[in-house]
Amino acid sequence: MIRRQWVLIALVTLALAIGWSVWAGEPVIVRHSGTVVAVDREGGTIFLSEVGPWHPSRGLSVVKFAVLITPETRFTLLERSAEAPVPGDFLERPGAFADLKLGDFVTVECLHEGKRLVALRIFLTKLEES
């Protein structure tokens, strides 16, 4: 019973924070993580498949959506490296739109503009060691 109250308080607080930022005209930035299922280089769009919420009746769901890439979108490669302070840890280096390919795992910081998702920053994770 007490746990349910804390969950309710957390959800109301989150809703108020999002509502306040929308009302105040501040942009809403959300992170999405998933697998790249398509890349439209000419249209400047990537399509992601993200594991969505779990539902008691349906189980796990998968959400697919498009993210618009703009000239301002920054790319960061996260690669395992023997030269990292902890061998095998990830090192960051600048990336590019050309580095993305099908099956890559990415985390995208998106600006929600109505129903459009505009990428501000994309973190591309490469699991094999360089």
User: Domain boundaries in the chain?
Assistant: 28-129
Identify the residue with better confidence: 26 or 89.
89
Superfamily classification of domain 28-129: Copper binding periplasmic protein CusF (2.40.50.320)
Q: Are strands 45-55 and 90-94 parallel, antiparallel or unpaired?
A: unpaired
Instruction: Using the predicted structure, report yes or no on whether residue 29 has a pLDDT greater than 70.
Output: yes
In terms of phi and psi (left: phi > 0; alpha: psi -120 to 50; beta: otherwise), the region of 4 is alpha
Where does the pLDDT of residue 94 fall: very low under 50, low under 70, confident under 90, or very high at 90 and above?
A: very high
Tell me, what's the pLDDT at 59? 74
Give the mean pLDDT of 67-94.
88
Where does the pLDDT of residue 117 fall: very low under 50, low under 70, confident under 90, or very high at 90 and above?
A: very high
Identify the residue with better confidence: 85 or 20.
85
Q: Tell me the C-alpha distance between 23 and 1, whole Å.
A: 33
3-28 pLDDT, tens per residue? Answer: 666 766 766 676 666 665 555 566 78
